[in-house]
Structures are given as structure tokens and as C-alpha cells.
Structure 1
Amino acid sequence: MKNESVVELIKDLTAKLSAVAEEFNGRVAHAAEEAPVGEENDEAALVDFAETVLEQRRMRRQFLPGELFHEPAWDMLLALFVSRDARLPMNIKALVSMSDAPVTTSQRWIEHLHKLKLIDRVIDPTDRRRVEISLSHTGDQAMKAYLRALKHQ
């Protein structure tokens, strides 16, 4: 009986997570369709803007307590967006350091971002302990759409 309830709970959680992911993917697709004409190729400006946003987020900690700004997933997404343009590989260790959060918290967020299909993980074939992280196509499109919207407010 107890195992059946655990199985049902897992099925329910999986269904809910899938529904959230589907809704999110629909929003990303809709936002990508509405991208202003002529800005599709303006990725360099979006990367510069993302770097500015990331710098501003870090600067807040100079003036206010850091615990007020604890959003490791968002910091990771910004860092991945910036690093992909510079063609810099981002492994888990580097990504954890960018999130300014404890390792276990960062790893949980990495797992959650992967479940939401915002990031891809690739195991290094020569060193299986090393995992490269990058934005997925969905994550990349979401970041571009959000940064465009933010930039044009």
C-alpha cells in the first residue's frame, strides 16, 4: 500500500512538472514569434545586455545583504547565456561558482533547469567526471525573448 502511494505521488509530480514545462515551452515559442524584425541577428547586443544585468546583480551585494538576492537559477541562466556567445565551456564547477549559492543548492537547481529543458548536460567522453553545461535551444530562445523584452521596456 505504501509503495503504491509513493508511485502515485511520483506520477503526479511528473505530470505536474511536464505540464509546467509544456506551458513554459509554449510561452517561449510565442515570445520568439513576436521578436521584433531585424533583431534576430542582434545577439551581440543581447549578450552585452545580459552581461550588464549580471554585473548589476552582483553589484547589489556590495550595498545590501546578499541573502536578499538569492536566485541561483537566474544567475546560472545569465552566465550560460553570456558564456555561450564567448564559446567558453561551462562545467558544473564553474556554473556553481557563478550562482553564488551552496554546491548542493546549485546542483539541485542545475537538475531542475535540466528537467525544465532549459539547459543541456554533456558528459566529457575522455573524463566522465566532467559535465559540460549549456543552454538548450529552449533556454536560449527564452533568454533572448526575455532580454529583448527587458531591453525594450
Structure 2
Amino acid sequence: MDRDQLKVRARRLIAAANELLTIAHELEQGEGDGTAERLAESMTNTVAAKDSPVWAELARNAYRERRRRADVFKDQTLFGEPAWDIMLDLFIAAKERKRLPVTSACIGAAVPATTALRWLTVLEEKGLIVRENDTADARRVFVRLSAEGYEKMVGYFAEVAGDMRSDEVVESPALRMAR
């Protein structure tokens, strides 16, 4: 088996693993006979144990806030983090079970296409994303998070959510006086 065939098989396995993680999480969130809880317990220290559909909404909010900030300051380049924008976009796509063409990932990065393509290459070299040829249209290439990239995004949003839950609400003096 040549190297290209191995890559294709590896990509299919990663896609299947991502799908299994999503199914495991859906089971975890479901009601019923405790099967979901047993499955979650058996997968401790894995992404499925931390994964949540809520993370997609957190990612969407983070992406919207980045666009809003650029709009307010009237400068798209001032706060540029194209790699993060790409990762957010791909994470949202993964959570929605959508395939994202390279051109869409470039648009989502909110930078010139050449800059976005360079960042896609960097992310691919770091093992955070993978490119997949479209079997139906040889002109199109899809990009998605690798298993490692997905796991890191889940870990990040799990930490963010944990920080949000553990932050104590600090009452303002004006609010205390109003009581």
C-alpha cells in the first residue's frame, strides 16, 4: 500500500473517530437506562468525556465577538489571528457536521486568501487540520480539524466553560446599597 492510500485510510479513521465521539456525547446527554453514563465513564480522559454541544455556541460567540471588535475599530488587521479564526470556523463546522471547503476557511479567516492559505499550511504542518480532496469534484478540497485539533479545541472550550462556572459574581457597591 502506498503512502497516499495510507493517508486516505488515516483520514477516514479520523473522521470515523470524530463521528464516534459525537455519538458518544449525544448518548451522554440522553436520558434513559444509564447506558450513556456507563459509556461516558468508560471513556474518561478522552475527548468524549469533555465534549459538549455547548462548545459550538461558545465558538460561534467567540468568532462573532472577533468580527464585532474588528468592525468597531474599523480595522480588520488590527486584531488579526487568522489561525484562531480558522480553528474556530473548523470547530463550528465539525460540531455542525459540515464539510468546509478551503475557500470557505479562507473567507472565515477574514484575511487575504494568500495569508489564510499560508496559515492553513502551518496548521496542517502542526497536525491540527487535514485537507481532503472532494471525490465528487476534483477542483475542490475540504479542510477539517484533525483528531488532535478537535481534541485541543474541546479541551480549550471545556476550560473556558469551567472558568465561566467557577468565576464568582462580584457585586458592585451600588448593587449592595440598593438592597
How does the TM-score come out when normalised to structure 1? Answer: 0.71
Unaligned runs of 5+ in 1: 1-31
- 1:47 pairs with 2:88: no
RMSD, aligned α-carbons: 2.0
Cα distance in 1 for partners of 2:120, 2:144 equals 11
Q: Identity over the aligned pairs, expressed in percent?
A: 29
For the residues of structure 1 that align with 2:51 and 2:100, how far apart are their CA atoms?
23
Please state if 1:112 is matched with 2:122. yes
Q: Structure 2 unaligned segments of length 5 or more: list them.
A: 1-43, 164-179
- Partner of residue 109 from structure 2, selected from 91, 99, 103: 99
Matches within 5 A, 1:8-87: 33=45, 40=49, 42-64=51-73, 65-87=75-97
Residue in structure 2 matched with residue 17 of structure 1 by the alignment: none
SS for the counterpart of 2:78 is: helix
Aligned partners of 1:41 and 1:139: how far apart in 2?
Answer: 14
Q: Secondary structure at the match of 1:113?
A: helix
Q: Give 1 or 2 for the bigger CA radius of gyration.
A: 2
1:40 counterpart SS class: helix
Partner of 1:124: 134
- Detail structure 1 runs of 4+ shifted over 6 Å in the superposition: none
Greater RCO structure (CA 8 Å; 6+ sep) = 1
**Rounded Cα–Cα distance in structure 1 between residues aligned with 2:132 and 2:109:** 20
1:150 to 156, 160, 172: 160
Is 2:59–2:88's contact at 8 Å kept on the other side of the alignment?
yes
Q: 1:122 to 1:67 in 2, by over 3 A?
A: same
CA, structure 1 residues 88+44, in 2 after alignment: closer, same or farther (shift >3 Å)? Answer: same
Q: In the aligned structure 2, how far is the partner of 1:67 from the partner of 1:41? A: 34
SS at match of 2:127: coil
User: How far 1:78 sits from its partner (Å)?
Assistant: 0.2
